[in-house]
């Protein structure tokens, strides 16, 4: 990896942004529109604590511990420092203070967009409430609290939403609580709650995700285990909840944007609408998504999510071999990815999209793999990150490692919006290994999830051809040509990474056997 690539990776991991501000934790410098803002050490420590909470409430006690570590100070000192910090930051775009006071609880940082005048355009906020202990055994309180602590930690790694601090949520311990009222008081859009029940050696954990505005249940799940394996059980619950909650919030946000702000050009709404179009996996919807993102970028040229998704849209067209949008799609994709990485501020989703553009389009294999490694370290439960790492590893690393990443993605979130990619990736890996029956099983699962994804038909055609089932191979080739009329061997080769040509060789051979034209 080049020194420039290493620098960008380090920079992404140390930067936090809000509005027109960027805080570089490594240097301890806050900048507004690129210009330094004069802040003292304690003000910087308080700002960092508020940023770390991701828009959630931070208690006064926690702030005093961050600003005056190891010292006992009067609460008035905190009030003075918060006032000084507010003065230095100035007003937010909507005219309110950047730092909001939450009566009897603490403070929170308003995460508004620098270029949007819509107060509700920032990413949603989630509260994880204390899980109710239904066992009648107070000794199980520690286990319930441990589950919640782990879930908060895991969910805090996601950047598509914020999770409020534990101390704020744990004020609501009573079991007969009105979730909608709690959501209103905490200023959150979603609430995760649950319960723990013990019967002898058996444990049952229930969790449910609720829309804080309507009280509607978005997802619910029960987990059963035993006290003999309590720590593994706790880890499994944490991993599963973290993996499932994120896509449910994302889908709820897409529907919310469609319903409440269908014509908005705010960055967040543009990102949501474009995301749904990219996931449709069609030539026309992809083009609409890119046009929408380009229009939004004209208003917010430094928005990392818009840059990353615009790069994703172009990367997808190149990878699929679809007709170009402009005269230089490859160069534009690389430019968007590079800019997205510069603004990523450690967001693993942004990093993953941009890394895929590096690997798939720019052929910057070492750089892309380094960024994906950093994204995995940042959030190993993000299915986009895990799936992207699997695709890149399939082309640039060990096939067994790629297969393991796809299997992990499929195991943790089989109904994720990207589940068809992980299943198709497994099919690709199995074809490389010569396991054509296994490849057909995986590709068939992918087809059931999303029948618009071109590579699924590559796998189904090639695997059947290698097995001598030419009637089936011709059928799936016909389906491929139906959704991608211009597809050829040359167009598929041109859109795929070429670090190791053997990774695509068996698929190309199978497509040739089935009769796909060379060009």
pLDDT by residue for the chain (519 residues), tens only, comes to 555 555 444 544 456 777 778 887 777 788 886 678 888 889 899 998 988 887 777 888 889 999 999 888 888 889 999 999 998 888 876 566 888 887 667 888 875 433 333 333 457 888 899 888 887 777 667 778 888 888 888 888 887 787 876 766 777 776 567 888 888 877 788 999 999 888 888 888 899 999 988 889 999 989 888 878 777 888 888 888 888 888 888 888 878 777 766 666 677 778 888 888 998 899 999 999 999 999 889 888 988 889 999 999 999 999 998 999 998 999 999 999 999 999 988 889 999 999 999 999 999 999 999 999 999 998 888 889 999 999 999 999 999 999 999 998 888 777 677 889 999 999 999 999 999 999 999 999 999 999 999 999 999 999 999 999 999 999 999 999 999 999 999 999 999 999 999 999 999 999 999 999 998
In a domain, 8, yes or no: yes
Estimate the crossing angle of helix 75-89 against helix 60-67, to 10 degrees.
80
Q: Do 319 and 390 sit in the same domain of this protein? A: no
Q: Do 460 and 497 sit in the same domain of this protein? A: yes
Residue 182 confidence (pLDDT): 83
Q: Which of 341, 356, 376 is the last residue of a domain?
A: 376
Neighbours of 135 (CB within 10 A): 18
The CATH number of the domain holding residue 59 is 1.10.10.10
In a domain, 150, yes or no: yes
Q: Range of 54's domain?
A: 20-109
Q: Do 401 and 447 sit in the same domain of this protein? A: yes
Distance CA 456, CA 442 (A): 9
Q: Do 289 and 419 sit in the same domain of this protein? A: no
Q: Do 368 and 395 sit in the same domain of this protein? A: no
pTM of the model: 0.69
Q: Do 519 and 424 sit in the same domain of this protein? A: yes
In a domain, 114, yes or no: no
Using the 8-state DSSP alphabet, how is residue 68 labeled? S
In a domain, 244, yes or no: no
Using the 8-state DSSP alphabet, how is residue 282 labeled? -
Q: How far apart are the first and last CA of the chain?
A: 35
In a domain, 275, yes or no: yes
Angle at alpha carbon of residue 275, lines to 281 and 155, rounded to 5°: 120
For residue 442, the SS3 value is helix
- Conformational region of residue 266, where left means phi above 0, alpha means psi within -120 to 50, and beta covers everything else: beta
Angle at alpha carbon of residue 246, lines to 242 and 247, rounded to 5°: 130
| Counted domains in the chain | 4
Q: Do 339 and 415 sit in the same domain of this protein? A: no
Q: Do 409 and 508 sit in the same domain of this protein? A: yes
In a domain, 151, yes or no: yes
Token code pair at residue 125: 């906020």
Q: Do 392 and 457 sit in the same domain of this protein? A: yes
- Return the half-sphere exposure (C-beta side, CA atoms, 13 A cut-off) of residue 277: 24
Handedness of CA 436, 415, 385, 221 (dihedral sign): negative
The CATH number of the domain holding residue 206 is 3.40.50.10610
In a domain, 120, yes or no: no
Sequence-separated (6 or more) residues with CB below 8 Å from residue 116 = 93, 266, 267, 268, 300
Residue 92 confidence (pLDDT): 73
Residue 190 vs residues 214, 219, 245: alpha-carbon distances, Å? 10, 11, 10
Residue 463 confidence (pLDDT): 98
Strand partners, 125: 162
Angle at alpha carbon of residue 387, lines to 125 and 492, rounded to 5°: 130
Burial class (CB in 10 A: 0-12, 13-18, 19+), 509: middle
Angle at alpha carbon of residue 59, lines to 39 and 171, rounded to 5°: 165
Q: Do 6 and 25 sit in the same domain of this protein? A: no
Altogether, the residues listed in the chain come to a count of 519
Strand partners, 132: 195
Q: Which of 361, 376, 391 is the last residue of a domain?
A: 376
Distance CA 457, CA 479 (A): 7
Residue 8 confidence (pLDDT): 46
Give Cα 213 to chain centroid, integer Å: 23
Distance CA 466, CA 438 (A): 13
Q: Do 84 and 183 sit in the same domain of this protein? A: no
Q: Do 372 and 385 sit in the same domain of this protein? A: no
The CATH number of the domain holding residue 500 is 1.25.40.10
Q: Which of 337, 357, 376 is the last residue of a domain?
A: 376
In a domain, 305, yes or no: yes
Residue 72 vs residues 80, 177, 243: alpha-carbon distances, Å? 16, 35, 40
Residue 122 confidence (pLDDT): 57
């Amino acid at each position: 990896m080049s020194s420039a690539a290493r620098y960008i990776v380090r920079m992404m991991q140390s930067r936090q942004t809000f509005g027109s501000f960027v805080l570089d934790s490594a240097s301890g410098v806050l900048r507004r529109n690129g210009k330094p803002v004069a802040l003292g050490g304690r003000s910087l420590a308080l700002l960092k604590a508020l940023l770390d909470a991701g828009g959630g409430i931070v208690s006064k006690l926690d702030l005093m511990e961050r600003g005056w570590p190891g010292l006992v100070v009067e609460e008035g000192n905190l009030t003075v420092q918060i006032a000084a910090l507010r003065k230095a930051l100035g007003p937010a775009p909507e005219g309110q203070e950047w730092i909001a006071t939450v009566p009897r609880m603490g403070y929170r940082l308003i995460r508004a967009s620098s270029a949007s005048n819509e107060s509700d355009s920032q990413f949603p906020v989630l509260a994880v409430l204390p899980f109710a202990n239904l066992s009648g055994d107070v000794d199980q309180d520690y286990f319930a609290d441990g589950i919640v602590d782990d879930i908060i930690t895991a969910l805090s790694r996601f950047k598509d939403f914020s999770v409020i601090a534990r101390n704020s949520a744990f004020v609501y311990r009573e079991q007969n609580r009105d979730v909608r009222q709690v959501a209103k008081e905490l200023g959150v859009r979603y609430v995760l709650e649950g319960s723990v029940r013990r019967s002898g050696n058996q444990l049952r954990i229930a969790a449910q995700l609720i829309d804080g505005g309507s009280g509607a249940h978005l997802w619910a799940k029960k987990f059963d285990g035993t006290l003999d394996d309590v720590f593994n059980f706790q880890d499994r619950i944490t991993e599963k909840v973290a993996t499932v909650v994120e896509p449910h919030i994302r889908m709820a946000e897409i529907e919310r944007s469609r319903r409440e702000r269908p014509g908005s050009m705010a960055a967040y709404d543009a990102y949501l609408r474009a995301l749904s179009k990219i996931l449709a996996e069609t030539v026309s919807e992809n083009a609409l998504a890119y046009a929408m993102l380009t229009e939004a970028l004209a208003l917010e040229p430094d928005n990392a999510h818009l840059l990353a998704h615009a790069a994703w849209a172009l990367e997808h067209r190149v990878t699929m071999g679809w007709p170009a949008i402009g005269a230089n799609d490859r160069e534009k994709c690389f430019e968007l990815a590079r800019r997205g990485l510069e603004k990523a501020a450690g967001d693993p989703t942004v990093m993953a999209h941009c890394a895929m553009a590096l690997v798939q389009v720019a052929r910057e294999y070492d750089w892309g793999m380094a960024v994906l490694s950093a994204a995995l370290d940042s959030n190993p439960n993000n299915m986009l990150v895990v799936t992207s790492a699997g695709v890149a590893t399939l082309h640039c690393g060990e096939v067994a490692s790629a297969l393991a990443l796809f299997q992990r993605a499929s195991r943790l979130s089989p109904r994720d919006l990207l589940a068809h990619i992980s299943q198709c990736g497994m099919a690709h890996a199995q074809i490389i290994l010569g396991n054509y029956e296994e490849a057909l099983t995986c590709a068939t699962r992918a087809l059931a999830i999303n029948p618009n994804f071109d590579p699924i038909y590559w796998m189904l055609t090639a695997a059947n051809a290698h097995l001598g089932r030419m009637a089936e191979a011709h059928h799936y080739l016909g389906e491929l040509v139906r959704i991608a009329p211009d597809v050829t061997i040359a167009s598929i080769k041109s859109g795929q990474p070429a670090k190791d040509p053997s990774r695509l060789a068996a698929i190309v051979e199978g497509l040739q056997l089935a009769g796909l034209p060379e060009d």
